[in-house]
Amino acid sequence: MRLLKKAAVSAAAVLCFTFLPFRAQTAKVDYYTAVSPSSVENGVLTLANGEKWYKVNELEDGNDYIITVKGSDGKQEILTACNDNVSEYVWHYYRRTMVTSTAPEYTTLSSRSFYLVSHENELYTVSNWWADGENAWDYCDGSLCYRENGSTAYLKYSEGSDVPFSCTNDPTEAAEVNLYSQNEYLSRCIAEHPSADSYVIEESGYAAPVFTAKLLSDDITVDSIRWFVDGREQSCAELSFRADSLTGKKAGVHRVNCLIEAHDAQDIHYRERSADAAFIITKGVMQDSFITFSDIHEQYPFITDAIEKVIEHTGGYIPALVICTGDLVNGPTASKDIMLERYYPQIVSYLGGIDAVFVSGNHDSGEAASIMSDKAGLGAENDRSPYGGQIFKGTSDAAAINGKSSRFAKGITVYGLNFEASLEINGSDITYSYDRTIDKLDSFLKKTAEDYHGELVVISAHSGLHVLGVQPESVTPSGGAISKWIGENQYNIDNSFKLAKLINSYAEKYNMDIIYLFGHDHSRQESELIMTDGDELMSTIEYSSRSYDTQPLKFTYAHSGYLSTTIGCADAHFSFVYRNGENYSFDLMSTYSDTLRHTDIKAKNIFKEPVVTTTSAVTTAATTVTAKTTAKATSGKKGSDSPSTGDRFDILFIAAPAAALMLISRKRKKNDN
């Protein structure tokens, strides 16, 4: 065996080490060597003990890998760490995700006894120094590289040398590396996760839903595909699956997914389980209603759980709209491409055909969130700006034509305030201020006021307007105090007072119903609060000077709920907001229990749908759909040729809100007792 380098550990280095894990070495000498597998054929690596590992094209958090390099004869050798006691070649990949959005990227490759580490172009078997920048392994274009504080080193293989493994900054000297795994997840192959085209109406005669998974490339050959409905395997081995078992069911939610195994011409092996596609059967849509949540942090099944909870709560009815208020992902802020290509298709699957719009958090790309809202086609009037803008307008032609559930939310308008709107970067200096937001929001509110019909104006923002710990309502879930001004500038944003004053002015001058919903500060241990007209709001003027001012609210200000369980006080909460006679009801709900915080907010207005004075192609199309729907419903016939029954049973929705509200009222009285 060939010596690479002894891992020197000094007392001073150990003392300064803070974030990188350290594992003491008991042997006198650690080194790396190359070991030959029994065989490698068609992307399958076989070990001496008969174990089979499969060639993959990426590193996935939590998976184990064997790393090989290719020699001059084309044969592959396994990167192996050794000392006098052990020899190990299985590397566990870990990606730190529960960090702030501005944290540097950090990943590790570790065996039971060793860490694979590069530092200043040397390869070590232990981490024995501390660095405050990025320290991350990555695999791309057949190379294994390590990024450290802005520099990139590549794994180098010196065949026949006493030190066979080292690092180089020259990518042309990088070893040709292959990764092998045997986990349930091998490589990603699903570009579009199966999803329901729409919700369906109970007893409507809807057709059996069809679910389809689309692959990343035509070059991928499927070896096997298994479909599951509510955990039970189905007899289908195709990429498209017709779920006959889901016809004729009562109102509720069912979950459909598939497990795909595949390979390609480069002998890459794929194994990926799709997202759980929600299939929603409902009695109708709650008019002028929505659910909203923040900080889901990749726990997307909770979206379906929240919708299911509303169905239970209302006796079978669904919300008209879903508003996702930021932090959809984990870790350092995700790029636009990652958001759109990897996470958005999963989220769509869990929505079950209910319309949704998006706002970015500090972990998300604002441009991606705007694109996601724009794709919904529900009245977004921005230019896909990273800062946000209007993302839903219930009275728009777009909502009338493209809306499935949301065309029953004519009395709602939503402005998305992306987190980037408060972010200011000057070189290495990062500050947070609502300066650039104020003019744009002012323009939106002015335009809305000029054509106001009593709708509820929702400002969906990831960040808030109050001072943490200073605001009396800013307490822990148990009611205890939290430190004043806790957190950094991104939690107590400059000119919050000025922004709140702007919203107040429109709410008061034009008697507008406005609600400002936010999330984000769950990591500060704060409970979800709600403040209404007349409450005193304490807002930041300037964070650096700890200055703030107070003003009585003329609008509603509340957390949207933290639909996750992994960070801070987040406890799988979401909010269900709906028109309830002369009030707007605001229910903070839990996905896993019947706990409910109900608040009635007195509405200032009764929404009156604007009268269309000119006939357009869009208006004519909408009128035709309504006429056909009414004729079909009154004749007693049922549609049976499409699962998208939102376009076929409008008459059912007319009575839906009253019946649902009566049921909610009864449940609330029971809960109150």
Average pLDDT (161-180) is 94
- Which of 245, 266, 282 marks a domain boundary? 282
Whether residue 22 is found in the same domain as residue 131: yes
Q: pLDDT band at residue 136, thresholds of 50, 70 and 90?
A: very high
pLDDT surpasses 50 at 30 = yes
Residue 79 sits in a domain whose CATH number is 2.80.10
Whether residue 97 lies inside any domain: the answer is yes
Whether residue 271 lies inside any domain: the answer is yes
Neighbours of 645 (CB within 10 A): 23
pLDDT above 70: percentage of residues in the chain: 86
Whether residue 27 is found in the same domain as residue 165: yes
Whether residue 71 lies inside any domain: the answer is yes
Q: Which helix (H) or strand (E) holds 16?
A: helix 11-16
Q: pLDDT band at residue 427, thresholds of 50, 70 and 90?
A: confident
Q: Which residue segment(s) compose the domain that 96 sits in?
A: 11-181
pLDDT surpasses 60 at 243 = yes
pLDDT of residue 238: 96
Q: Max CA-CA distance within the chain? A: 88
Whether residue 174 lies inside any domain: the answer is yes
What are the respective helix, strand and coil percentages of the chain, to the nearest 5? Answer: 20, 35, 45
Q: What is the pLDDT of residues 443-460, one digit of tens each?
A: 999 999 999 999 999 999
- Which of 151, 166, 181 marks a domain boundary? 181
pLDDT of residue 657: 62
Whether residue 75 is found in the same domain as residue 115: yes
Measuring CA to CA, which residue among 608, 603, 599, 556 is closest to residue 576?
A: 599
Whether residue 190 is found in the same domain as residue 129: no
pLDDT surpasses 70 at 671 = no
Whether residue 139 is found in the same domain as residue 107: yes
Q: How far apart are alpha carbons 135 and 147 in whole angstroms? A: 6
Q: How far apart are alpha carbons 342 and 296 in whole angstroms? A: 16
Whether residue 119 is found in the same domain as residue 225: no
Q: How far apart are alpha carbons 521 and 461 in whole angstroms? A: 12
Taking the mean position of all CA atoms in its chain, how far away is CA 622? 33
**Which of the pair, 562 or 636, is modelled with greater confidence?**
562
Helix (H, G, I), strand (E, B) or coil at 505: helix
Q: pLDDT band at residue 131, thresholds of 50, 70 and 90?
A: low
Whether residue 167 lies inside any domain: the answer is yes
pLDDT of residue 101: 86
Whether residue 173 is found in the same domain as residue 192: no
Q: How far apart are alpha carbons 42 and 44 in whole angstroms? A: 6
Residues contacting residue 616 through CB under 8 Å, at least 6 positions apart: 397
Whether residue 121 is found in the same domain as residue 202: no
Average pLDDT (647-662) is 50
Q: pLDDT band at residue 19, thresholds of 50, 70 and 90?
A: very low
Q: How far apart are alpha carbons 57 and 266 in whole angstroms? A: 10
pLDDT surpasses 80 at 299 = yes
Whether residue 192 is found in the same domain as residue 101: no
252 and 246 Cβ atoms separated by less than 8 Å = no
Q: How far apart are alpha carbons 23 and 74 in whole angstroms? A: 35
Whether residue 563 lies inside any domain: the answer is no
pLDDT surpasses 70 at 469 = yes
pLDDT of residue 668: 66
CA distances from 570 to 376, 573, 592 (A): 28, 7, 13
Whether residue 115 lies inside any domain: the answer is yes
pLDDT of residue 465: 97
Q: What is the pLDDT of residues 335-355, one digit of tens each?
A: 999 999 999 999 999 999 999
3-state secondary structure 129-172: CCCCCCEEEEEECCEEEEEECCEEEEEEECCCCCCCEEEECCHH
Q: Token pair for residue 20?
A: 């990188």
pLDDT surpasses 80 at 14 = no
- The total of structural domains in the chain comes to 3
Residue 261 sits in a domain whose CATH number is 2.60.40.10
Q: How far apart are alpha carbons 194 and 228 in whole angstroms? A: 12
Q: What is the pLDDT of residues 81-127, one digit of tens each?
A: 999 899 999 999 999 888 888 888 999 999 999 999 888 878 888 87
pLDDT surpasses 70 at 28 = no
| Lowest-pLDDT range of 53-62, 323-332, 384-393, 625-634 | 625-634
Expressed in angstroms, the distance from the first to the final Cα of the chain is 75
How does DSSP assign 599-667, residue by residue?
EEEE-S----PPPP-S--HHHHHHHHHHHHHHHHHHTT----S-S-GGGT-HHHHHSHHHHHHHHHHHH
- Which of 258, 282, 306 marks a domain boundary? 282
Average pLDDT (424-443) is 89
| Lowest-pLDDT range of 203-212, 282-291, 382-391 | 382-391
pLDDT of residue 632: 32
Whether residue 479 lies inside any domain: the answer is no
Whether residue 158 is found in the same domain as residue 244: no
Q: For residues 65, 71, 77 and 82, what is the CA-based torsion angle, rounded to 10 degrees?
A: -100
Q: pLDDT band at residue 20, thresholds of 50, 70 and 90?
A: very low
CA angle 618, 619, 622 (to 5 degrees): 90
Q: What is the mean pLDDT of the chain?
A: 87
Report the chain's C-alpha Rg in angstroms: 28
Residues contacting residue 621 through CB under 8 Å, at least 6 positions apart: 401
307 and 571 Cβ atoms separated by less than 8 Å = no
Backbone angles phi, psi at 77, to 5 degrees: -120, 145
**Which of the pair, 568 or 201, is modelled with greater confidence?**
201
Whether residue 139 is found in the same domain as residue 210: no
Average pLDDT (304-324) is 97
Whether residue 172 is found in the same domain as residue 210: no
Q: How far apart are alpha carbons 428 and 430 in whole angstroms? A: 6
pLDDT surpasses 80 at 637 = no
AA letter at 173: E
pLDDT of residue 126: 84
pLDDT of residue 444: 96
